[in-house]
């Protein structure tokens, strides 16, 4: 058969032309600049010559007309987000926290927050540049700003919100979507009510969304460069920018870790595909791997740590965050401890600190438990105080006498030593017995109390055995006997065998919210370890006795400790909030957040329902279509051989992965969550929505596609305008508010708005605040009902504080997110006197006059002050008398703690017909103040 095959010889070249050696390739190589017909047409439309492949940096082929269009969109975004940004001129929602943090930065007072510092530092920089001195406290929602450049501070998140719009446009163009699609996404984000509301106030989510968008954009640009040619100058530029952006997003909030996860998943996929490409040598693959490790892991870590280095450099003074850090850490905050004596012996005056919980010092004060043994309280107190000082004595049972430590030789405290601890201020012994604690009322917990009196040597329940757990490796003696700061030890109760123990359980208000101390028979070792922090000079110690102090920690130690505190506290935010929500409700936009209500206006965080719901539908549609294609592929269909299917599957798949990684992790969290936690996921959902639009309209003519997009934009703008009064805090009517409640779960304060717009002009806003002191009359069993009347006597001697005007919300008053690092506000106290003849109330903690100020809160006690001296100021005026001077006519005084709420006036109103109430009140007032009758 082979003999019949004729072989064609190469053609002889024409005369005069050189002989050309035939190519060894069976087929000629494809030219690198070869273009298909569609590509040549596109290149020609952009002015390129024939055969030239167009490629811009990052794959951004943007025409000059698009840049002009993008500039117009940017101006619109500026107008939407900056419109009347100075309104309201009072504190809104979590400006309570983040404005306060700016004050702390400017005052250089150390504080702790669960969020990293970048966004807070940017807001602080704006405040500092515009002259903020840090004196405004941002204490309450609705508090009017005074001497605060709040507009400049709000401009920071607003600017980030504006900058997010062009990033969305450029990202979709870099993903090879059409200009119409990119325009649609930018308009959707421009008129998204939730994003607009969040970006107009001193909050952190707008910078977070911006850096999420920036990371997505630069990573897409890097991926485009990676497809073209790796390791070029542009390739390295995009990769380094991605690393810096990753560091920035995680330095705003830890939610940025989800963005890192998104980039990480795609990066792993890229490396996996490169590993299967036989054209890529192992050495080249290793270069790809290490380049990504350096730029996408090390650079973000260094950026993140640099932000904390700046954080520590600014906050160099002691502040409210000291109590949450270790003693070593506090040494760097200008709150350092003086050198203390290293040796501890019988007769030493010492302070003992709990090792694990950082709850503070072993503490006692002259207040008793309300139940149990009713003996003196033993607690952990986080601040240095004279009530933390104890003296070490030897046990006195079994015939032992108290050791004369002042004259006899010094006796050190060794492992197994039997000791007593006597409280210096109250002269009570550290005591435990078989009585259940008032809070941890379980069988294996015993109460720890202060017991005894001056001159009483105590009993066996005062005796404890020292068990040394470990010492410092650099101090050998600390492992055999008690040494200050170096020895970790346990105290075992001699009689019951339980261990002195503390855990993160707070006592109620009668214990001043301090940490509980018990004696635990099944104690966890970590919570039963203690150490001596200070030891005063013992009479028998020489003048040159050894002294010790805490080791000053370096940056890495401080950085790691703060991360642990932030993580532990963030995970512990499990308390419910009036407007918290769970992730399942976010895509459906079931409920928003009440940010601010005042002067018959409201700011309520609610998304643009059209943008929100259409994006959710797009996510669900992609899931269904992708699942259907997988089933078809299983049945042998070759849909993924279609280049169009592959393109949109890669595009939508990337955005879907970003959405999932920014949304589904919240289902694993038991902490307090809010609607604004959904915003990064919403950004990916909007881009995915527009990518689906690009696919659906890919077969339509450009004119028709633009018309459909225009209709969608108009719907989004009209929906935005319908809810814009809640976005900007503008006047609204009750009817429009009610009509806008498309879902029953949207709890707008419709009753707070006026009936007509004309009523907003020239109307003095009423206030529910009362600065006149009130007294409660009546209420005795079997007598007349309690009446609240003006206390004219108190008016003569008490000048109640004034507060700004405020309109209360009938239901759902705005409430900031909880700041667990701030001290809890004290509750107001209302006193009811059951005798009507005596205007003076007497009790051990007497409260005689109550001024109802619904919007004011009790000031926080100064850090480091004694809890016994905490007094509530402003709303409650206190008058006290010794018990032996009590008025004989006083029958009984009842102290009742009540939560003062702006939307609850029931406690001010007696029951019954209004005219009858007024008559009784008038009669009682004249009985109490007969001089007023004469004055009339």
Give the residue-averaged pLDDT of 341-358: 88
Cα separation, 216 vs 649, whole angstroms:
17
Q: What mean pLDDT comes out for the span 30-34?
A: 52
**Nearest to residue 297, comparing CAs of 274, 265, 264, 321?**
264
Predicted local distance difference test score (pLDDT) of residue 405: 82
pLDDT at 716: 96
Token readout for 515 is 């940490």
Cα–Cα distance for residue pair 437/503, rounded to 1 Å? 13
Give the Å distances, CA to CA, from 332 to 105, 110, 619.
16, 10, 50
CA distances from 367 to 364, 372, 374, 633, 860 (A): 8, 14, 9, 76, 21
Question: How many residues are present in the chain?
Answer: 936
DSSP 181-201: HHHHHHHHHHT-HHHHHHHTS
Number of H helices, E strands in the chain: 23, 22
pLDDT, position 927: 52
- If one counts every other C-beta atom within 10 angstroms of the C-beta of residue 273, the result is 10
Is the pLDDT score of 908 beyond 70?
Answer: no
* pLDDT tens column, 174-199: 999 999 999 999 999 999 999 999 99
Q: What is the mean pLDDT of residues 594-619?
A: 93
Among 219-228, 461-470, 790-799, name the one with the lowest average pLDDT. 790-799
DSSP β-bridge partners for residue 345: 412
Alpha helices (runs of H) in 745-897, residue ranges in sequence order:
792-797
Whole-number pLDDT of residue 60:
87
Q: Please determine, for residue 845, whether its predicted confidence score (pLDDT) is greater than 70.
A: no
- Under the banding of pLDDT at 50, 70 and 90, the label for residue 661 is very high
Mean pLDDT value across residues 21-34: 50
Task: Identify the band that residue 759 occupies on the pLDDT scale cut at 50, 70 and 90.
Answer: confident
Residue 544 pLDDT class (50, 70, 90 cuts): confident
- 803: confidence class by pLDDT, cuts 50, 70, 90: very low
What's the alpha-carbon Rg for the chain, to the nearest Å? 36
Distance between CA atoms of residues 444 and 283, nearest Å: 64
Give the Cα separation of 31 and 40 in Å (integer): 14
611 pLDDT above the threshold of 90:
yes
Mean pLDDT of 542-569: 90
The band of 516, judged by pLDDT with boundaries at 50, 70 and 90, is very high
Per-residue pLDDT band for 24 (boundaries 50, 70, 90) equals very low
For residues 591-608, give the mean pLDDT: 91
Average pLDDT over all residues of the chain: 80
**Count of Cβ atoms closer than 10 Å to residue 574 Cβ:** 9
Beta carbons of 420 and 432 less than 8 angstroms apart:
no
Q: What is the mean pLDDT of residues 385-399?
A: 83
Cβ-Cβ contacts under 8 Å for 66 (sequence gap 6 or more): 173, 179
Among 350, 364, 713, 370, smallest CA distance to 534 is for: 350
Query: Residue 49 — pLDDT band, cuts 50, 70, 90?
Result: very low
Would you state the pLDDT for residue 797? 45
CA atoms within 13 A on the CB side of 910: 21
pLDDT band per the 50, 70, 90 thresholds, residue 54: low
Q: Which tops the pLDDT comparison, 911 or 677? A: 677
All residues at 6 or more sequence positions from 292 whose CB lies less than 8 Å from its CB, including other chains? 239, 267, 271
Q: Measured at the alpha carbon of residue 529, what is the angle toward residues 526 and 531, in degrees to the nearest 5?
A: 140
From CA 702, how far away is CA 713, in angstroms rounded?
Answer: 16
- Token duo for residue 19: 């002989």
The whole-number pLDDT of residue 762 equals 59
Question: Cβ(233)–Cβ(130) under 8 Å?
Answer: no
Residue 883 binned pLDDT confidence (cut-offs 50, 70, 90) = very low
At residue 525 the predicted structure's pLDDT band, cuts being 50, 70 and 90, is: confident
Q: Which pLDDT score is estimated for 126?
A: 95
Any residues with CB less than 8 A from the CB of 569 and at least 6 apart, and which?
A: 112, 114, 324, 820, 821
**In this structure, what token pair is assigned to residue 101?**
């943090």
Of 289-293, 348-352, 670-674, which gets the smallest average pLDDT?
Answer: 670-674
- Residue entry with tokens 């907003």: 760
What pLDDT does residue 837 have? 39
**By the 8 A CB rule, do 513 and 359 touch?**
no
Higher pLDDT, 397 or 74: 74
Would you state the pLDDT for residue 890? 35
Phi, psi values for residue 469, rounded to 5°: -90, -45
- C-alpha count within 13 angstroms, C-beta hemisphere, residue 125: 10
Instruction: State the Cα–Cα distance between residues 860 and 457, nearest whole angstrom.
Output: 40
pLDDT at 814 over 80: no
User: Containing H/E element for 365?
Assistant: strand 361-368
- Rounded to an integer, what is the distance from CA 81 to the centroid of its chain? 24
H helices of 636-742, in order, are: 643-663, 679-696, 702-722, 724-728, 734-739
When pLDDT is cut at 50, 70 and 90, the band that residue 672 belongs to is confident
pLDDT level of residue 207 (50, 70, 90 thresholds): very high
Q: How confident is the model at residue 798 (pLDDT cuts 50, 70, 90)?
A: very low
Give the three-class secondary structure for 711.
helix
SS3 category, 765: coil
């Amino acid at each position: 058969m082979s003999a019949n095959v004729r072989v064609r010889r190469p053609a002889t070249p024409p005369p005069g032309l050189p002989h050309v050696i035939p190519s060894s390739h069976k087929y000629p190589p494809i030219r690198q600049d070869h273009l298909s017909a569609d590509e040549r047409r596109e290149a020609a439309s952009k002015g390129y010559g024939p055969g030239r492949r167009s490629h811009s940096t990052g794959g951004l082929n943007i025409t000059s007309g698009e840049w002009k269009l993008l500039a117009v969109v940017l101006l619109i975004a500026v107008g939407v987000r900056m419109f009347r940004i100075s309104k309201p001129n009072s504190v809104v929602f979590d400006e309570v926290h983040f404005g306060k943090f700016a004050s702390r930065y400017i005052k250089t007072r150390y504080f702790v927050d669960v969020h990293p510092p970048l966004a807070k530092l940017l807001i602080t920089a704006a405040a500092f540049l515009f002259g903020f001195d840090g004196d405004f406290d941002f204490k309450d929602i609705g508090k009017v700003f005074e001497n605060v450049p709040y507009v400049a501070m709000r401009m920071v998140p607003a600017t980030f919100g504006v900058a997010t719009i062009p990033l969305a446009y450029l990202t979709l163009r870099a993903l090879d979507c059409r200009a119409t699609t990119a325009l649609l996404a930018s308009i959707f984000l421009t008129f998204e009510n939730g994003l607009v509301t969040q970006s107009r106030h001193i909050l952190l989510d707008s910078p977070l969304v911006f850096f999420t968008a920036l990371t997505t954009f630069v990573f897409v640009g890097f991926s485009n460069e990676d497809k073209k040619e790796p390791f070029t100058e542009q390739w390295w530029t995009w990769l380094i920018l991605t690393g810096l952006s990753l560091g920035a997003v995680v330095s705003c909030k830890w939610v940025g870790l989800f963005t890192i996860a998104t980039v990480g998943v795609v990066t792993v996929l890229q490396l996996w595909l490169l590993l299967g490409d036989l054209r890529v040598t192992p050495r080249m693959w290793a270069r790809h791997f290490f380049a990504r490790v350096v730029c996408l892991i090390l650079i973000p870590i260094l950026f993140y740590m640099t932000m904390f280095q700046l954080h520590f450099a600014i906050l160099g003074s002691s502040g409210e965050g000291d109590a949450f850090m270790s003693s070593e850490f506090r040494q760097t905050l200008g709150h350092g401890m003086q050198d203390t004596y290293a040796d501890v012996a019988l007769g030493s005056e010492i302070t003992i600190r709990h090792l694990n919980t950082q709850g503070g010092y072993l503490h006692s004060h002259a207040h008793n438990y309300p139940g149990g043994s009713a003996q003196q309280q033993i607690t952990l107190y986080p601040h240095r105080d004279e009530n933390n000082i104890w003296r070490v004595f030897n046990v006195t049972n079994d015939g032992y006498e108290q050791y004369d430590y002042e004259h006899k030789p010094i006796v050190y405290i060794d492992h197994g030593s039997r000791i007593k601890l006597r409280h210096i201020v109250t002269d009570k012994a550290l005591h435990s017995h078989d009585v259940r604690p008032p809070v941890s009322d379980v069988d294996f917990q015993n109460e720890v109390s202060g017991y005894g009196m001056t001159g009483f040597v105590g009993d066996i329940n005062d005796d404890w055995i020292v068990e040394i757990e470990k010492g410092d490796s650099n101090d050998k003696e600390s492992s055999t006997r008690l040494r200050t700061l170096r020895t970790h030890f346990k105290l075992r109760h001699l009689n019951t065998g339980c261990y002195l123990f503390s855990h993160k359980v707070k006592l109620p208000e009668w214990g001043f919210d301090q940490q509980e101390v018990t004696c635990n028979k099944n104690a966890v070792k970590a919570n039963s370890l203690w150490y001596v922090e200070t030891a005063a000079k013992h009479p028998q110690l020489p003048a040159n006795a050894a002294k010790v102090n805490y080791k000053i920690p370096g940056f890495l130690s401080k950085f790691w400790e703060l991360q642990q505190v932030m993580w532990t506290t963030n995970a512990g935010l499990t308390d419910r909030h009036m407007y918290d929500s769970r992730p399942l409700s976010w895509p459906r936009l079931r409920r928003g957040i009440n940010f601010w209500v005042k002067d018959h206006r409201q700011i309520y965080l609610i998304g643009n329902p059209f943008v929100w719901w259409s994006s959710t539908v797009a996510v669900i549609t992609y899931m269904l279509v992708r699942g259907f294609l997988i089933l078809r592929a299983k049945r042998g269909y070759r849909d993924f051989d279609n280049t169009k299917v592959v393109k949109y599957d890669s595009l939508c798949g990337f955005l879907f992965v970003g959405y999932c990684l920014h949304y589904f992790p919240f289902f694993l969290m038991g902490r307090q969550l809010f609607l604004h936690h959904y915003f990064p996921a919403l950004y990916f959902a909007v881009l995915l929505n527009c990518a689906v639009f690009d696919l659906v309209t890919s077969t339509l003519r450009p004119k028709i596609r633009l018309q459909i997009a225009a209709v969608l934009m108009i719907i989004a703008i009209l929906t935005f305008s319908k809810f814009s009064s809640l976005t900007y805090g503008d006047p609204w009517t009750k009817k429009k508010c009610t009509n806008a409640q498309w879902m029953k779960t949207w709890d707008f304060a419709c009753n707070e708005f006026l009936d007509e717009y004309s009523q907003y002009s020239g109307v003095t806003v009423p206030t529910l605040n009362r600065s006149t002191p009130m007294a409660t009359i009546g209420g005795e069993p079997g007598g007349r009902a309690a009446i609240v009347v003006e206390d004219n006597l108190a008016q003569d001697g008490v000048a109640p504080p004034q507060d700004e005007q405020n309109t209360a919300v009938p239901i759902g008053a705005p409430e900031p997110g909880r700041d667990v690092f701030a001290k809890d506000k004290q509750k107001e106290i209302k006193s009811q006197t059951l005798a009507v003849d005596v205007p003076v109330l007497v009790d051990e903690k007497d409260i005689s006059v109550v001024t109802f100020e619904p919007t004011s809160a009790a000031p926080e006690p100064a850090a480091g002050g004694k809890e016994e001296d905490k007094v509530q100021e402003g709303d409650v005026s206190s008058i006290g008398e010794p018990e032996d001077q009590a008025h004989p006519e006083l029958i009984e005084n009842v102290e009742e703690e009540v939560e003062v709420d702006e939307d609850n006036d029931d406690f001010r109103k007696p029951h019954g017909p209004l005219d009858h109430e007024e008559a009784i009140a008038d009669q009682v007032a004249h009985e109490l103040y007969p001089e007023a009758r004469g004055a009339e």
